[in-house]
Structure 1
């Protein structure tokens, strides 16, 4: 199950995100999204859990939970919609 995690602390890195979700089951991947130009976190990320049961449990437990002074927004990730590439 792929999970969207929003309102992350800008100091959070991939391994912190993985640790946060690991107590609910096996984490296949955890990625904090960073700005291409500055390398700074954009304040959200994605976590892929091994099973949908552990994913649902993590969403239930972590949505709205305070993490480093910020209330997390956690829900099932929606598939990425196809957008045309920008032409410069």
Structure 2
């Protein structure tokens, strides 16, 4: 069974969240659509996420849009995977002081 949250990759850099909403809307109710942007530049990273209202609609969107042309690029549409923990926490400094006597 397919989840309701989908990954959409290989987007043209000018694509907006509303473009995604319109594109996926032909397959059902879009609960949310977001094109991911670079934090520093604000430019699209070329991918986004769409949440459909049901698993059936999500499966239809994958079937209907994966490897299809959108503004000259072949889309990659599949079920979104859970976000991986990329660590974080600011480098290797462990704190604590050295002991001088």
SS in 1 for 2:36: strand
2:46 match: 43
1:12-62 CA deviation, whole Å, 9 max, x = no partner?
A: 000000000001000000000000000000000000000000000000110
1:33 aligns with 2:36: yes
SS in 2 for 1:39: coil
Structure 1 counterpart SS, 2:23: helix
**TM-score w.r.t. structure 2 length?**
0.84
Q: Give TM-score, length-normalised by structure 1.
A: 0.96
Q: Does 1:12 align with 2:10?
A: no
- Displacement over 3 Å in runs of 4+: none
What SS class does the counterpart of residue 83 from structure 2 fall into? Answer: coil
Larger Rg: 2
Give the equivalent residue in structure 1 for 2:60. 57
Structure holding more strand per residue: 1
- CA drift of 1:70 comes to 0.2
Say whether 1:75 aligns with 2:65: no
The count of aligned residue pairs is 88
Partner of 1:2: 5
Unaligned regions of 5+ residues in structure 1, if any? none
Q: What is the CA RMSD across the aligned residues, in angstroms? A: 0.9
